Structure 1
Amino acid sequence: MKARFIVLLSAVMLGSGAYAQDCTTTAALAYDDAKAKNYDAAYEPLMTVKKDCPDYSLATFQYLERVLKYKIENASGDEKTKYINELVDTYKERLQNYPEKTKKGDVYTDIALLKFTHKIGSTEERWEAFDKAYVEDKENFTSPKGLYAYFDLMVNMQDSGDRELQDVFDIYDRVMSKIDEEEIYEAERLQSLIEKQDAGEDLTSKEQKTAQIAEQRLTNFNAVKGALNTKLGVRADCDNLVPIYEKDFEAKKEDVAWLKNANARLSAKDCEDPLFFKISEALHELEPSAASAYSLGQLAEADGERAKALEYYNEAAELEEDPADKAKIYYRIGKNYQNSGSFSQARNFYKKTVNAKPSYGRAYLNIASMYAESANSCGDNAFNKRAVYWLAAEYVAKAGRVDPSLSKHANATVAAYNGRAPQKADVFQEGKKAGEAIQIGCWIGETVRIPQL
């Protein structure tokens, strides 16, 4: 340590011309300590480099982030607060000095999470920190924990009387929409890798890592969605929603923005109340949209008018531009066709569902269910009929991978379907071998390969 100060003192004595050498020497010593996880030793030199020569290297900020997180974890009281404030400053200065290598959404989310985790500032101030991340750089506001905290703080403010219920709904919609975007992105990354595996190709180590990250992210987002819905709780139940909107309907029945909000809430909960019908009709007359058409479809379906419901749903699908919402509509159409026994039509819409939102695993489950139900009709012999269950199992397995909330059910269903499919002795007796293609007939019209048993 003494040798370090001698080196630094010598550099300073050389005058202003020694600036670069001073930074280089101090930084090199600090970086070595940080790499070795000797964080206490790295702390002061890194703080010095950040202060005196912040433009020396991005590594200063990257190492200092690690050091300060360590210091925060091992401190308490005023000392902990000091390190938290220094980390906030480090994030801000990194963005200031290296904007091209720093995402605003990441920085603002990290700052907001620090304040949230350590209860820095008021609830309002903590919420505003997340709101800044969303408003300034929504694209990079992707932290599952951050998205949950953004909503959680709004609920807390509403509980304390500082916000209206509509504010809670607005942030809920905002967060759920962002999660849908992220799920679509992760599922699309995963989908191509699943298809590669389905084709019998091995994934590279990089691809395996990508698949693991995508699956973990999907798991995290699924957990957040569950937590959001739990947090929203009875606030969004029909018994609470209907009175809220009923008292304002006459005054707001020509207010498109109000009608849209009310329609979205009632539609999400399938509130089969006369008010829902009045709001949906009023909205559809003023501004026909995917939302209003979908709501009218829900009402027609509830009244048993299936053909009329499908007309509205198809209109909604044509008008809808958001992929997640479009997927929801396609799924509803597919479910209608499945319930009426029109399996081929149902599959068409379930495939449209996953094309719009690849993480919509329930669509794969329903295709598998229809295949299993048709097994006895779609084979020209007993072996090929039972082979349909291999195909059904493949779809179920895919459902579990793209939607982690289905994984437990998917694993049990895959085992059940494989139990009904031909076993090793059956394959041998049939004179076939693993990898051989079996063509499935009738409406299914797909090929399945005999798995390695």
Structure 2
Amino acid sequence: MKARFIVLLSAVMLGSGAFAQDCTTTAALAYDDAKAKNYDAAYEPLMKVKEECPDYSLATFQYLAMVLNYKIDKATGDEKAKYIDELIDVYMGRLEHYPEKTKKGDIYSDIALLKFDNKVGTTEDRFNAFDKAYTEDKDNFTSPKGLYAYFDLMVNMQDAGDRELQDVFDIYDRVMAKIEEEEINEADRLQPLIEKQDAGEDLTSKEAKTAKIAEQRLTNFNAVKNALNAKLGARADCDNLVPLYEKDFEAKKGDVSWLRNANARLSAKDCEDPLFFKISEALHQLEPSAASAYSLGQLAEADGDRSKALEYYNEAAELEEDPADKAKIYYRIAQNYKSSGSFSQARSFYKKAIQAKPSYGRAYLNIADMYADSANNCGETAFDKRAVYWLAAEYVAKAGRVDPSLSNHANATVAAYNGRAPQKADVFQEGKKAGDAIQIGCWIGETVRIPQL
């Protein structure tokens, strides 16, 4: 009996070893084919490894995703549908077998995009796939295309009569907030690299790559925001919003959630309608918040009461916790001070906006604009006064770096400011050279270094 047990155990061990050896050999050959982009040859061996030994290596799922994406692009009809199903199974298998090395948001977003690109299921099915990515792992749902598709599908359902206009607004707000969050993350990565370059230091190859990726993602997110606003279109005009909220106001004026949503939408569009005032007041009485204070500030500003408006805006800034929204409030305060000629106070709030949201390029532009406007008043000599334009150009250049949507305008403005600044002959006549520091006086109080001309 004992001898029989040993024989059986040996057989099991030998079988297990043969099985493992077969996986190793099959996987190695399949991986080589996949690396060489010989995807057709890699397909069946990889599928075999996935089915028979899914825990062998994460690479099995990574290579299979590449192979199946290739085959989906080449196939049509039922064959294409088969490969799509297999790819979804691969994505879910990776999540099951390698959860610690796999982000749910990435996987669910990839599945949703696969369905979106290939029109799998109904519009609602595709929307629900993106909604799953957002609700189950919002932090890792960062695909610019995926975020756009999420909103696009909701708009399509509303156009078909399957959703209400408020549903469109809800998803729009959700997606825009996520994009702004990602923009802040990318700008945070980019900012120290810009500062390093501004200090005259070269970026390492790794840092240069990081900067390039951050700038590209900022460009992509900006494109998505423009597309979202174009898609939203006239749906969010005051002519549509006011009747939408007017009909429900009496029934909803005690509903904080409803008031909050209505207030945010009317505020975003600067709808100067009596309804906006009623909603803002009702919300501020029930739940004093950054949003309600900001709206009351808008109304006070529209009435010409700048002092009261600034009081409400400052209250809103203190109450606001979201960095992007806080930045918008600071920017509005800064704009008020700038328009009244209080440049120093305006700069203070523009810089607060930048601190809250490093990708706020327009804040940099406005600081540059104030510097340029002050050039004739800030300097003892004509040379020093013109040197202010170098400083203004630096701020404009930063605007273009952190907000790619401003790059064309920024490039043109930098060229214009540099054209007004001292030229090479002027620097020589002053007995100065590139790198020398020029102290800018008056309210500006900053130092600029002569650039290489």
Q: TM-score, normalised by structure 2?
A: 0.97
Q: Which whole-Å CA distance do the structure 2 matches of 1:184 and 1:125 have between them?
A: 31
Per-residue CA shift, 1:342-372, capped at 9, x if unaligned? 0000000000001000111000000000000
2:229 alignment partner AA: N
Q: Which residue of 2 aligns with 1:95?
A: 95
Q: Is residue 275 from structure 1 mapped to residue 265 from structure 2 by the alignment?
A: no
Query: In the alignment, which residue of structure 2 is the partner of 1:420?
Result: 420
Once the two structures are TM-superposed, the CA of residue 77 in structure 1 deviates from its matched residue by 1.1
Residue 157 of structure 1 and its aligned partner are, at CA, apart by 0.5
How many angstroms apart in 2 are the aligned matches of 1:274 and 1:311?
21
Match of 1:7 in 2: none
- 1:339 is matched with 339
C-alpha distance in 1 between matches for 2:342 and 2:329: 17
- Counterparts of residues 150-189 of structure 1 (less than 5 Å): 150-189=150-189
In structure 2, what is the Cα distance between the partners aligned to 1:37 and 1:104?
27
Question: How much has 1:248 moved relative to structure 2?
Answer: 1.0
Question: Residue 198 of structure 1 corresponds to which residue in structure 2?
Answer: 198
Provide the residue aligned with 2:4 in structure 1.
Answer: none
Alignment match, 1:224: 224
Counterpart mapping for 1:30-429 below 5 A: 30-429=30-429
| 1:446 is aligned to 2:451 | no
Q: Alignment partner of 1:376: what SS? A: helix
Distance 1:259 1:107 in 2: 36
Distance 1:340 1:430 in 2: 36
Separation in 2 of the partners of 1:250 and 1:61? 56
Alpha-carbon distance in structure 1 between the residues aligned to 2:283 and 2:242: 16
Post-superposition offset of 1:15: 3.2
| CA distance in structure 2 between the partners assigned to 1:15 and 1:335 by the alignment | 76
Identity percentage of aligned residues: 86
One-letter amino acid matched to 2:106: D
State the AA in 2 paired with 1:33. Answer: D
Q: Deviation at 1:250?
A: 1.1
C-alpha distance in structure 2 between counterparts of 1:204 and 1:121, whole Å: 47
User: Alpha-carbon deviations, 1:96-124, whole Å to 9, x = none?
Assistant: 00000000000000000000000000000
Amino acid at match of 1:302: A
Give the AA of the match of 1:417: Y
Structure 1: gaps of 5 or more residues: 1-11
The amino acid of 2:427's aligned partner reads V
Find the aligned partners of 1:266 and 1:190 in 2 and give their Cα distance: 34
Q: Deviations over 1:14-70 (max 9, x none)?
A: 634311101000000001111111111101000000000000000101111111111
Residue 5 of structure 2 corresponds to which residue in structure 1?
none
- 2:379 counterpart SS class: coil
Aligned residues between the structures:
442
For 1:119-169, what per-residue CA distance to the aligned partner results, in whole angstroms no more than 9, with x for missing partners?
A: 000000000000000011000000000000000000000111111111000
One-letter amino acid of the structure 2 residue matched with residue 69 of structure 1: N
What amino acid sits opposite 1:308 in the alignment? K
User: For 2:278 and 2:16, how far apart are their aligned partners in 1?
Assistant: 77
d(CA) in 1 for partners of 2:93, 2:263: 45
Letter in 1 for 2:121: G
Structural RMSD (CA): 1.1
CA distance in 2, matches of 1:98, 1:384: 62
Q: Deviations over 1:383-407 (max 9, x none)?
A: 0100000000000000011111111
TM-score, normalised relative to structure 1: 0.97
Aligned residue for 1:15, secondary structure, equals: helix
Structure 2 residues without counterparts, runs of 5 or longer: 1-11
